[in-house]
Structure 1
Amino acid sequence: MTAQDSATAPMTIAAGSGTALAALGVAAFSLTFPATAWALEGLGPWTVTTLRITLAALIAGGSLLALRVRFPERRHVAGLLVMAAGVVIGFPLLTTLALQTSSTSHSAIVVGLLPLTTAACSAVRTGARPSRTFWVAALAGAAAVIGYALLQSGGTPTSGDLYLFAALLVCAAGYAEGGRLARHLPGWQVIGWALVLCLPLAAPVAAVAVSVEPVRLTAHAVTGVLWLAVGSQFLGLVVWYRGMAEIGVARASQLQLAQPLLTLVWAVLLLGEHLTPAALLTALAVLVCIAVTQRARS
């Protein structure tokens, strides 16, 4: 083995580890919409959103307290607040509202735009400059998703689509900021502190929402909320931010192009939804974009 090989081997291992962690995060996120649909069977949208945040924040806070983790430096607080607003509150609330009128499969395809919006936010925030090939492939995936959404809605975005597009913007900003912070703090602490910062707001709103909105504690509703809190809101984000720290925000975000296809599978298996040819073709199109973006060097 040459000296150059010895130097590049650790980088290759780190890249492989980062990709695997980010992929685990995507797998966890792919269950978010089906779990939300289950939760909405027995709970209102505000109850679902605030309960998932509150439960996840209690888990995160307990972990931070047990391990005696010190509060982040002041220079990191602004980034944590941006991440909390986008990833912890904004995206869950807006997508939950969207799923009241949009199907899980439709919402999953629209959220396929998230990699492009995340890469754009990262480029603006961190100064990253992905290659031209990267952007061409990402834009191609975005075009396929937009075309699908307009086809399904007869050429005019629905209220559910508007909720989803807004969710993409706030989540992308949170992902980009969280990916930057994960270079300075362990990934689990990044999401942990963001959740804890939201607890004083989420807990009181959850108490009000439970008293105002209808509550039917079915097996689906309870399972859905628990997965949203533990799997999507905490564990999934822990491995996701760790992966982004190792391979970069832009490259990790493109792994999410696989998320719509995975969610479509769950929509069929768990919700009994029927997929249209357009949905399958769009999902396959974005999968092709994954291969291109993952090979494109920044």
Structure 2
Amino acid sequence: MERTSNLQNPGAEKNLSGWINGFIGVVIFSASLPATKVAVLEFDPVFLTLARASIAGVIALALLGVLKAKRPERRHLFSLLLVATGVVVGFPLLTALALQHVTSAHTIVFLGLLPLSTAAFAVVRGGEHPRPAFWIFSMLGSAIVVAYALSQGLTVAPEGDILMLLAVLMCGLGYAEGAKLSRTLGGWQVISWALVLSLPVMAPLAGLSAPSSFAGISPPAWFGLAYISVFSMLIGFIFWYRGLAQGGIAAVGQLQLLQPFFGLALAATLLHETVSMGMFGVTAAVILCVISARKFAN
């Protein structure tokens, strides 16, 4: 009977799989900013962005070759370019630059804007149409995050905050476009082809921007580079794009509000950064808004 019930309701099963895959992606992404913070202390942010994309691109190229993946069609190229612009170049570079001005704990709070950014691009590029109540709760959550940033004194490090806001916009575009393309091309294929498409540009520039010597680079910085190259740039997207495509971009995109919780915990544990009760309070309030918004996502 249980098997028959599942067969009669394949949409619910697909939706559940989408939330599971999305959750795994969020857990992987949660360590991205702390790992970037560790790496950017010793690597130039531009080189770090180019290097992580190049390393992930080489792995993606090998993966596509071993699995003999079908090449994308000409009509897919524009979408792949948008994905590459948003998540291969834009978000990594802007966050790395921002982390030169603010702590990773501070930038993590800005991730509260990602669900709204992703949902907006889901409408523009993904053809989704959440109900009005969804936007009310999503905008309320985003407003709480922005109000918190202002309360901390935006004039202290305006460069970092502006860079993070731009990063959120670029990331939302890359998420929505990649999820839309995943419906026809496949989740792991989308991020892999986007990385490979970027490789001819990123790899030579990485070589040109590399430091004259790597002798003084510490193991934690190397670990940070390895994590953001393999997990943040490739493996996380395999789960994330699949989850967005299965469960809906706007709906599953709300899982991103769990990312600050995990990220703040990692920042406090690994980097010994101060995480105020205000940060946790803001994150909790925003997540309540997301739980409400999820009910009206479809």
Q: CA offsets per residue over residues 123-150 of structure 1, 9 Å max, x none?
A: 1123311012211111111001100111
Partner amino acid, structure 2, of 1:293:
A
Q: Is the 8 A contact 1:41 1:220 kept in 2?
A: no
1:111: how far off?
Answer: 2.0
Q: Which amino acid aligns with 2:135?
A: W
Distance 1:201 1:259 in 2: 31
Mapped to 2, the partners of 1:155 and 1:289 lie a distance apart of 28
Shift of 1:6: 5.7
CA contact (8 A) 2:52 2:229 kept: yes
Amino acid at match of 1:266: L
8 Å contact 1:30–1:262 — kept in the other structure?
A: yes
What is the rounded CA distance, in whole Å, between the counterparts of 1:283 and 1:63 in structure 2?
A: 37
TM-score, scaled relative to structure 2: 0.95
Q: Distance in 2 between matches of 1:149 and 1:222?
A: 31
Distance across 2 between alignment mates of 1:125 and 1:279: 32
Task: Report the secondary structure of 1:211's partner residue.
Answer: coil
CA distance in 1 between partners of 2:58 and 2:205 (Å): 15
Measure, in 1, the Cα distance between the counterparts of 2:197 and 2:213.
Answer: 25
Match of 1:55 in 2: 55
Give the distance between the partners of 1:155 and 1:206, measured in 2 at CA: 33
Q: Which runs of 5+ in 1 are unaligned?
A: none
How far apart are the structure 1 equivalents of 2:139 and 2:155? 20
What is the CA RMSD across the aligned residues, in angstroms?
A: 1.9
Distance apart, 1:209 and its partner CA: 1.5
Cα deviation code 1:58-115 (max 9, x no counterpart): 1100000112222101111100001001111000000000001111111000121011
Equivalence for 2:200: 200
Deviation, 1:42, is: 2.1
**How far is the alpha carbon of 1:290 from its aligned partner?**
2.6
Give 2:249's aligned amino acid: V
Residue in 1 that maps onto 2:270: 270
Whole-angstrom distance in 2 between the partners of 1:215 and 1:176: 40
The equivalent of 1:160 in structure 2 is 160
SS of the equivalent of 1:176 reads helix
Letter in 2 for 1:46: V
Instruction: Please tell me whether the aligned partners of residues 101 and 157 of structure 2 are also in contact (alpha carbons under 8 angstroms).
Output: no
Q: Which moved more, 1:285-294 or 1:211-220?
A: 211-220
- Residue by residue, what CA displacement relative to the aligned partner does 1:247-268 show, whole Å, maximum 9, x if unpaired? 1111111100111111100010
Cα distance in 1 between the residues matched to 2:249 and 2:113: 15
Could you say what secondary structure the match of 1:126 adopts?
coil
CA 1:182–1:154: 2 relative to 1, 3 Å: closer
Show the counterpart of 1:136. 136
Q: What is the letter of the counterpart of residue 146 of structure 2?
A: I
**Is the CA contact (8 Å cut-off) linking 1:150 and 1:156 kept in structure 2?**
no
**Cα displacement (A) at 1:213:** 8.8
CA distance, structure 2, for counterparts of residue 110 and residue 193 of structure 1:
28
1:160 CA displacement = 0.4
Give unpaired runs (5+ residues) of structure 2.
none
Query: Structure 1 residues 88 and 53, CA, compared in 2 at 3 Å: closer, same or farther?
Result: same
Rounded Cα–Cα distance in structure 1 between residues aligned with 2:276 and 2:213: 33
| Equivalent position of 1:190 in the other structure | 190
Instruction: Tell me the number of residue pairs that the alignment of Structure 1 and Structure 2 aligns.
Output: 297
| Structure 1 residue 15, shift from structure 2 partner | 0.9
Check 1:290–1:213 CA distance in 2 against 1; reply closer, same or farther (3 A cut): farther
Which residue does 1:13 correspond to in 2?
13
Q: Distance in 1 between matches of 2:267 and 2:17?
A: 29
Query: What residue number does 1:291 align with?
Result: 291
Contact 1:91–1:171 (CA<8 Å) still a contact in 2? yes
**Aligned amino acid, residue 20 of structure 2:** A
1-structure distance, mates of 2:97, 2:215: 17
Question: What code does the residue aligned with 1:115 have?
Answer: P
What is the one-letter code of the residue matched to 2:23? A
User: Is the contact between residue 186 and residue 242 of structure 1 (CA under 8 Å) also seen in structure 2?
Assistant: yes
More off after superposition, 38-47 vs 48-57: 38-47
Give the 3-state SS of the residue equivalent to 1:182 in structure 2: helix
TM-score normalised according to structure 1 size: 0.95
Q: Which residue of 1 aligns with 2:236?
A: 236
Structure 1 counterpart of 2:11, which letter?
Answer: M
Give me the identity figure in percent: 39
Task: Indicate the SS of the match to 1:184.
Answer: helix
